[in-house]
Each structure stands twice: as structure tokens, then as C-alpha cells.
Amino acid sequence: MGVSLKDIAERAGVSLATVSNVVNGYRPVGERTRQRVQAAIDELGYTPNLSARHLRRGRTGLIALAIPELTNPYFAELAEVAIHEAGRLGYTLVMENTAADHEAESKLLNGSQRHVIDGLILSPVRVGREEVLARAADTPLVLIGEGVHDVPHDHIAIDNVAASRLAIRHLVESGRRRIAFVGAGRGDDRHSAHLRVRGYREALAEAGLAYRAELVAVTARFGRRDGVHAMRQLLALDEPPDAVLGYNDLIAIGALRAAVDAGRGVPEDVAVVGIDDIEEGRFSTPTLTTIAPAKEEIARLAVRRLVARIEGAEVTGPLTVQTPFRLIARESTTGAPGRAGT
């Protein structure tokens, strides 16, 4: 095994507690003693055994970020910020991939990881409000995204109804009249899709446009492939749409590609908008108009809240925080050739 506190204590001729204090700085240590101890640490190459520390402290310093898919750039970008922020606060972030699987989400929620993880940031997809309420774990939980609402936990998300409305308004202003939505959920299992569809409907109503069920395409998942399939069907309609809002950027990019395959011009024949502002959409052909949530803010806030709860700090302010978002108009709706990367 490695070098322990005891080894250092013996080498430096001091007690265990003193070494611990040099390492952790909880109590003041005399300058001369500190130097002797530090020298011993350096010579012997001591690093604290974190398992022991965790056992003693009752905390592990690990927090988990559970997302439905790592390969969705939106979550990868979120994770990158979260990892950094966690590190800054002295925590290690463990990524958990739920694969949008109900059991995986449920297990995480109910602390299958108890004693391993001090807290959980979850982006729920399948798990419902009741399950979150009935959760049998005592570690702090922060929710991100729109999967679950109105639960006694911190919750960071954008206002999805408003985001969706902003996107539709942009399409209406550019003269579109037959606007489709791609990526709705089936039944109750995808709450955020419902909210985005709601925004879509509200904005149509505001603009005096009729809602047509055949223009709302359900998809099984949230990938490019799903966007392609759904879009093919929409384009096969007698009266195909002249614009599409994707549930997210990946679906929008799939829709975009399906339009190209079908020989339709984007945006001349059909305009496309997504939600997420993933980097891919800044370099696609055409570049993708999108709703950009403040991703850094979401990730940072989620981590900070969680850590604050873990450390028992007074957390003021409302449980639910709505982070800002904005529309970024690019070629897929404006047609104006932009400069890639912006």
C-alpha cells in the first residue's frame, strides 16, 4: 500500500493530528513544524487516501450527472461545463448514462448509488413527477430540463413553451404558414416535448394559423435519424409544410437533410429551426437557425445548487430557476449566407 499519515508523522516526528492539519489546514500549525511535515510529505510522496477520508467524513466528494445520452452534443456541452464547475468546488463529477431508460433513471433516483454519491443532477426523460415525489433516497437532487415539474427539488430549465413560441414567431414573421413540429412524444412519456408542442400551438393561435394534427410528427427518440424519418413523411403529404420546428437541433438537422434528399430547398421551400444551439448547427449546410439556451449557466447553476445543498448551506431564492434563451437566426430560415462558425 501507499504512504499513510502515520508514515509522515513518524518521519517528521510529530503526531498524526498535526500532519492532518498540515494537509487540511483546519487548525493553525507552527511554521517550523509545517515545514518539517511538508518535507516528509514531499520526500515520501504522500497523497491522502480518499476512501478513508470519505468513510470518516461520511461524504465522498462525488456527484453524478445523469443524462439520457452522452452522444447528444447538447448534453456533452453541458457535461463539459459541469465537470469543470464541480472540480472548481472540490468535487468529482461522475457521468451516468441513463440512455433514456426508465429503469436506469429510477435506480439512480432511488439511490442505487447511495454511499457512493453525495448528490445527483438528473435530466429525467421517462421518470414522472410521482416517482420523483416518492423517491427513496436522502441525497440532494437537482433536476435539469423539462422532464418533471412541481417537485420539492431544485430545478434548472428554460421556459420551453416560451422558447418554442419564439421559434414559431420567427417563422411566421418570415412569411411561413404551414409550420410543422417534429419530435413530439407519444402519450405521457416525454414531458418536455409536450411543452414545446404547447408553445408551438400557442404561437400558431396567436398568428391566426390553424393547428393541423398531421403537421405534428411523433418520433421515438431525439436523434438525427428520427428527424429524417419524420420529415420524409411530412414531405410526402399532399400539402407539405413550408417550415419545421424540431424538438431539438439533432432532429432539425435530420429534417434538414431529409429535405435536401427530397430535392427541396432550405429555406426556399421549407425553413428549419431547432432548439439547443449545438456547435454542429453553426457549420451545417445550410447553417441552422436555433433557440440557444444558456447552457453554461444551466450547468454551473445545477452544480452550485447541488453542492450548496450537500454542504447544508442556506439556499435562498426559488427552487425553480428559469435560465435565459435567445433566437439565433441562421441560413436555414433566413437564406442569407452566413459565415460558418457564428
Partner DNA sequence: CTGAAAGCGCTAACAT
Partner DNA sequence: ATGTTAGCGCTTTCAG
Q: Which does 187 bind (CB under 5 to 8 A by kind): DNA, its own copies, none?
A: none
CB 75 within 8 A of CB 131: no
Size of the site for its own copies (CB under 8 A): 56
Give the residue with the Cβ less far from its own copies, 59 or 212: 59
Residue 4 interacting with DNA (CB under 7 A): yes
Residue 21 interacting with DNA (CB under 7 A): yes
Sorted by sequence, the CB contacts under 8 Å of residue 138 that are 6+ apart come out as: 111
DSSP H or E segment with residue 97: strand 92-97
Residue 233 interacting with its own copies (CB under 8 A): no
Residue 257 interacting with its own copies (CB under 8 A): yes
Q: Which does 18 bind (CB under 5 to 8 A by kind): DNA, its own copies, none?
A: DNA
DSSP H or E segment with residue 246: strand 243-246
> From the CB of residue 234, how many other CB atoms can be counted at a distance below 10 Å?
24
Distances from the Cα of 94 to the Cαs of 79, 122, 204, 270, 309, in angstroms? 10, 12, 42, 41, 18
Buried b (16+ CB within 10 A) or exposed e, 154-173: bbbbbbbbbbbbbbbebbbe
Residue 27 interacting with DNA (CB under 7 A): yes
Residue 89 interacting with its own copies (CB under 8 A): no
**DSSP one-letter code for 31:** H
DSSP H or E segment with residue 95: strand 92-97
Residue with cell 428549419: 272
Residue 6 beta carbon to DNA: minimum distance, rounded to whole angstroms: 6
Part of the chain binding its own copies (CB under 8 A), chosen from 28-36, 91-99, 238-246, 297-305:
91-99
Residue 116 interacting with DNA (CB under 7 A): no
Residue 90 interacting with its own copies (CB under 8 A): no
The three grid cell numbers given for residue 161, joined into one nine-digit string: 413553451
Q: Which does 279 bind (CB under 5 to 8 A by kind): DNA, its own copies, none?
A: its own copies
Residue 86 interacting with DNA (CB under 7 A): no
Residue 326 interacting with its own copies (CB under 8 A): no
DSSP tally for the chain: helices H, then strands E: 13, 12
Residue 45 interacting with DNA (CB under 7 A): no
Helix axes 295-310, 73-88, angle to 10 degrees: 40
Q: Which of residues 69-88 bind its own copies (CB under 8 A)?
A: 69-71, 73, 76-77, 79-80, 83-84
In degrees, to the nearest 5, what angle opens at C-alpha 79 toward C-alphas 138 and 127? 45
Q: How far apart are CA 14 and CA 19, in angstroms?
A: 7
Q: How far apart are CA 159 and CA 326, in angstroms?
A: 11
Residue 333 interacting with its own copies (CB under 8 A): no
Q: Which does 32 bind (CB under 5 to 8 A by kind): DNA, its own copies, none?
A: DNA
Residue 195 beta carbon to its own copies: minimum distance, rounded to whole angstroms: 26
Contact positions vs its own copies (CB under 8 A): 1-2, 45, 47-52, 54-55, 58, 60, 69-71, 73, 76-77, 79-80, 83-84, 92-97, 111-112, 114-116, 136, 223-225, 228, 253-254, 256-258, 260-261, 279-280, 282-285, 337, 339-341
Contact positions vs DNA (CB under 7 A): 1-2, 4-6, 13-18, 20-21, 23-24, 26-30, 32-34, 46, 48-49, 52-53, 55-58
